[in-house]
Every structure is written in C-alpha cells, then in structure tokens.
Amino acid sequence: MKTFKSNGKLLLTGEYVVLDGALALAVPTTYGQTLNISDSNDGILRWKSYNEKGVVWFETVFNLNRDALVSPSDDPVSQRLLEILKVARELNPSFLNKTNGIEVSTHLEFPRQWGLGTSSTLIDNIATWAQVDPYKLLELTFGGSGYDIACAKHNKPITYRIERNKNQISRKVEELEFNPVFKEHLYFVYLNKKQNSRDGIAYYKSVRHNLRDPIKEINTITKGIIDCNTLMEFQELITSHEALISKITRQETIQSKLFGDFKGAIKSLGAWGGDFILVASENNPNPYFQAKGFDTIIPYDKMIK
C-alpha cells in the first residue's frame, strides 16, 4: 500500500488580494487528509472517502482502460473526481494506464464543512500519486491562488506571493518561524457554515479596482504581523487588515456584522462569510462565542503545525 498525506490550510493575511500579487501569510494545520492506494485485479478503480469519524461519506467506481476513464455514476462528486483524475492523466499519460485495478481510500482528519482544504489536500495527494505538478492540477480543476497547495506541502508557516511576468506565473513560497509569544490569546472559531471559495473569488474579481496602494498596505501589515511581539499590536494590525479588505471588497467586516460587542479583535480567514475566523483576545472568548451558538473554538496551538 502507498500512502500520501497533505496538510490543511488557513490564510491568515492577504485573502482575495493574494490573487493579485499581495504578500500572504498562510499556515498549515495539524489536520489534513491521507490517500491510500493498493492494487487489485478486477480492472476497476474503487474509491472510498472517509470522514473524520471513520465513516464513508462517498464511494464510487471507475472503469479503467488505456483510452479513457469512465464513471458509471452521474453523481456530481463522482463527476468532479473523474475530472480531476482525467486532468492528472492528461498531465501524465502513464497515470492509471498500466494497472489491473486499484483500490483507493481517502481519510479526512477534520469535518468537511470546516473549509480547511478538503479539495486542496485531495488535489495535492492525487498530484503526488500521479507525479504531476499540483499547482497545474489545481489550475485546471478548481482554480485559486495556490496558497493552499503550498500549505499542503510545507510543515511550517509560509509567506506566499504570486508573481506575474507577461503571461508567466510563478509562486514565491518561503517558510518562516511564526510562533507568536502571545499565541495563547489566539483562537479559531468556526462560523457554522461553509463558504464557497470559488464564489468568493468570482465576487472579488467583479468589484476589485485600483489595487496598487491597498496591496502595498496589505504587504506592510503582513510583515508587521510576522514581526509583532505584543497582543495589542497584533490586534491593531488585523483590525487594519479587515478595514482594508472591507473597503476593497465592499463587504462589512465580520466583527461589525456579528460581534460588535466583543472585547478583542476578529479577522476573517479566506473568503468572507463562513469557515473560520481568527480571534485575538486577552480573556478566554469561549463563553462569549458559545453564548452566540458558536461552539467550535480551537486554540492556536491545537490548530497550527
């Protein structure tokens, strides 16, 4: 049996504007996804996906042949997976081309609705299995900035930047030691709903304009967050970041929208409106958020590698 594993991800700074070259701070999570592969002899690719509780949430089969992959199911998840496997095969024609059969199982370590990278960890695992470029596989399937693929592969916090030269795109990824001395005051709170990143990206592209100066400001804030040594400074920086992204995307900040009476600072992570928020608080915020119906509250150290 072969096993591949990829880390989940959180984007601490640079949401949306990372697509246009802003410097982003991203972190791999302790939660990830594994993909196991073993051979069989029936000419079939059998696929099972298990959730964090070890329960099968999806299964399907594909007929294997040298000319095409075929799915007998029109289920949307099956068709999406078929698309990914076909693209991987286009990038590496020898992938799935010389086998008598395969059994595949994937195992999530976090609930699918958390938004920690169900898709990106799958893409990275399949790319490793198929021996293809994971960024290219992402580009041709789900799209996005690719920071999540970088997190899948790195076991430390990273800075991530997209650089464009004419029609060429390159990615600058650097590991760093980001271990805030005040991390016991940082928490991740799940907003009880999954946010569709592709919808968020489409909306952002429809409203963005005049990004040169805002991106410079975001870059400065990202560097400040990496270097800051006090909780108060960190709170001021993430509040400034929220204000900038709010102005760029014409969206109300999550703190003013839902948590206006909270004594601390709150920052959205990734596409606004769902998934996790970052909470920086001098006092334990659990009672406050639990009283509002938000029960998934994870301390920084338990979430981040």
pLDDT of residue 251: 94
Instruction: Give the residue from 130, 149, 175 where a domain finishes.
Output: 175
How far apart, in whole angstroms, are the C-alpha atoms of residue 26 and residue 147? 7
Residues 167 and 194 reside in one and the same domain:
no
Residues 193 and 262 reside in one and the same domain:
yes
Residues 221 and 244 reside in one and the same domain:
yes
The 10 Å CB-count burial string (b at 16+, else e) for 73-101 is eeeeebeebbebbbbbbebbeebbeeeee
How far apart, in whole angstroms, are the C-alpha atoms of residue 56 and residue 106? 9
Residues 263 and 189 reside in one and the same domain:
yes
Residues 197 and 123 reside in one and the same domain:
no
Residues 12 and 154 reside in one and the same domain:
yes
Residues 167 and 192 reside in one and the same domain:
no
pLDDT of residue 165: 84
Residues 14 and 127 reside in one and the same domain:
yes
pLDDT of residue 66: 64
Residues 68 and 213 reside in one and the same domain:
no
Q: What is the CATH classification number for the domain harbouring 15?
A: 3.30.230.10
Residues 55 and 166 reside in one and the same domain:
yes
Which residue ranges of the chain lie beneath pLDDT 50?
none
How far apart, in whole angstroms, are the C-alpha atoms of residue 180 and residue 98? 49
Domain count, the chain: 2
Asked if 86 and 69 count as a contact pair (C-beta separation under 8 A), the reply is yes
Residues 156 and 212 reside in one and the same domain:
no
pLDDT of residue 191: 96
- Read off the pTM: 0.94
Long-range contacts of 229-235 (CB under 8 A, 24+ apart): 229/181, 229/182, 230/182, 231/182, 231/185, 231/280, 231/282, 234/180, 234/182, 234/265, 234/280, 235/264, 235/265, 235/280
Domain, as residue range, for 118: 2-175
| 130-181 pLDDT per residue, tens | 999 999 999 999 999 999 999 999 999 999 999 988 778 899 999 999 999 9
